[in-house]
Amino acid sequence: MTESRSVGSTRAARQPAGAQIENEPIARLALRFGASGHLELRRGNDWVRVDAVRCFPWSQASRYISLRDFEGRELCLVVDSGTLEAASRWALYQALKVAGFRLEVTAVLSIEDDFEMRVWKVRTRGGERSFQTELDVWPQAAPGGGHVIEDIAGDVFFIPPLQSLDARSRKRLWPYVE
């Protein structure tokens, strides 16, 4: 065991060597989306691609997030994402949103406004579904392409890049995506 720091913590913690951020003060931790659309962690002067994995307890979604390299080794433990700078916090939130449970849309059957809600009827790999969003909720660009949208129940739907959808789906979606 080596001594390391966890992001969001004010004291040193005993962590496995893989959790250590070598010679990196907590305040300098930075996250971003790289050109490839993947979450990256700054380590010294370099940016390393990482995956964000929520740790137990899942009920505290903004706490205890493990940042792991492509081999699954933990590079950093974010104890409280609220202590990150705004840009890093946004990048982490977006990465978790995309990595979490999501339903993949294969076709958009209809989108209609009804009583201050938008009603979506879509086809997913699991069959047809309908869901509702508030009128001011729009599909957001997803890292790596496509879009994600969260319904009023908290389910996340992934819409693949428009060119991969049929012509009718593209026509229905174009007013809602950039």
**Sheet containing strand 63-68, strands side by side:** 51-54, 63-68, 74-80
Which of 78, 99, 120 terminates a domain? The answer is 99
How confident is the model over 133-171, as pLDDT tens digits?
999 999 998 877 889 898 998 888 989 999 999 999 999
Kindly state the tokens that stand for 24.
Answer: 């990196």
Angle subtended at Cα 111 by Cα 153 and Cα 163, rounded to the nearest 5 degrees: 105
User: Any residues with CB less than 8 A from the CB of 9 and at least 6 apart, and which?
Assistant: 26, 79, 80
How confident is the model over 65-79, as pLDDT tens digits?
999 988 889 999 999
- One domain for residues 79 and 128: no
- The alpha carbon of 10 is separated from its chain's Cα centroid by a whole number of angstroms, namely 26
Show the domain range for 158.
Answer: 103-173
What pLDDT shows up at residue 31? 95
With respect to residue 82, please indicate whether it lies within any of the assigned structural domains: yes
Model's pTM, two decimal places?
Answer: 0.50
The type of residue at 129 is: R
With respect to residue 154, please indicate whether it lies within any of the assigned structural domains: yes
